[in-house]
Structure 1
Amino acid sequence: MARIEKFEDLKVWQLSREICRDIWHLFEMTPLGRDFELRNQMNRSSGSIMDNISEGFERNGTREFIQFLSISKGSCGELRSQLYRALDRKHISQEQFDMIVVKTDSESKLIGSFMSYLNSANYKGSKFTKPTSTSNHADAQNPEPETQNPEL
């Protein structure tokens, strides 16, 4: 089983980073880069996906992490809506639109699955674990479970 030790290990975060790079590439290569208002909105929503995953992970509490994942999932929908606006304004091609919409849809589903997994887990987070006086003090302070779903 894979052990998740940092948010960079999460496939859900890795895909969100890829989406951010794809969005930035659109800004550099298409007329979308000159529509500053839409560009700024898309930059913020794509960044929100990855930033909320990382922030939620760092909170060390499952309930908080789920809340931040929910925000990330909402940002996926927001970005898809903005992609429709970019397509309708002819800033991007249908092919460019399709490529990123498929990724954002996959990301949204992956986040939803991760939220379901976390909701069903008994683990509340490392900040709720009280240190014990055992010889293995490091594990007592950071008893994060191995993930049952290595795709996350």
Structure 2
Amino acid sequence: MTRGFRFENLEIWQISIEVGDTLFDIADNLEARKLYRFAEQLRGAGLSISNNIAERTGSLSKKEFCQFLNYARRSCYECANILIVIQRRSYIRVETKQALFDRLDELSRKITNLQKSLNL
């Protein structure tokens, strides 16, 4: 029997991994164009979302849990900002940015709703 971690069953973690994969693909393309700083920032921000959701499942208190969710939500906004910059520089298409914006917005809202359900 294979054991897993609690976070793997969370919809917000699953979405964050999906979004993160797409962000990593974009970062790989940026790196191939020698745009290393953009690639590094995008990877870090994208990975931060799922990392903080995963890390929060190890929290022992609701307050700590909420704090990690807040970090994950803030990373969604960081990714959105990076996407704006790289789209303005024509490194990605407007459609690519918008599709990711939609997913990041959905994820951010789901994280916020989970935070609200904690009644802190």
- TM-score, normalised relative to structure 2: 0.89
Tell me the number of residue pairs that the alignment of Structure 1 and Structure 2 aligns.
Answer: 114
Distance in 1, matches of 2:119 and 2:48, equals 22
Q: List per-residue Cα deviations over 1:39-79 (Å, max 9, x = no partner).
A: 10110001000000110111232111100000111000010
2:44 corresponds to: 44
Look up the SS of the partner of 1:74 in the other structure: helix
For residues 50-129 of structure 1, the aligned pairs below 5 Å read 50-119=50-119
Amino acid at match of 2:47: G
Distance in 2, matches of 1:106 and 1:9, equals 18
Q: List per-residue Cα deviations over 1:100-143 (Å, max 9, x = no partner).
A: 111011111110001001126xxxxxxxxxxxxxxxxxxxxxxx
Q: Equivalent pairs: percent with the same residue?
A: 28
Amino acid at match of 1:46: G
Amino acid at match of 2:76: C
Distance in 2, matches of 1:14 and 1:23, equals 14
Gaps of 5+ in 2: none
By relative contact order (CA 8 Å, sep 6+), the higher-ranking structure is 1
Distance in 2, matches of 1:14 and 1:60, equals 22
Amino acid at match of 1:82: I
Gaps of 5+ in 1: 121-152
Amino acid at match of 1:37: R
- CA RMSD of superposed structures (Å): 1.3
After TM superposition, give the deviation of residue 16 of structure 1 in Å. Answer: 0.3
1:18 corresponds to: 18
> Which has more radius of gyration?
1
Distance in 2, matches of 1:27 and 1:83, equals 11
Structure with greater helix share of residues: 2
For residues 24-35 of structure 1, the aligned pairs below 5 Å read 24-28=24-28, 30=29, 32-33=30-31, 34=33, 35=35
Amino acid at match of 1:45: A
- TM-score, normalised relative to structure 1: 0.71
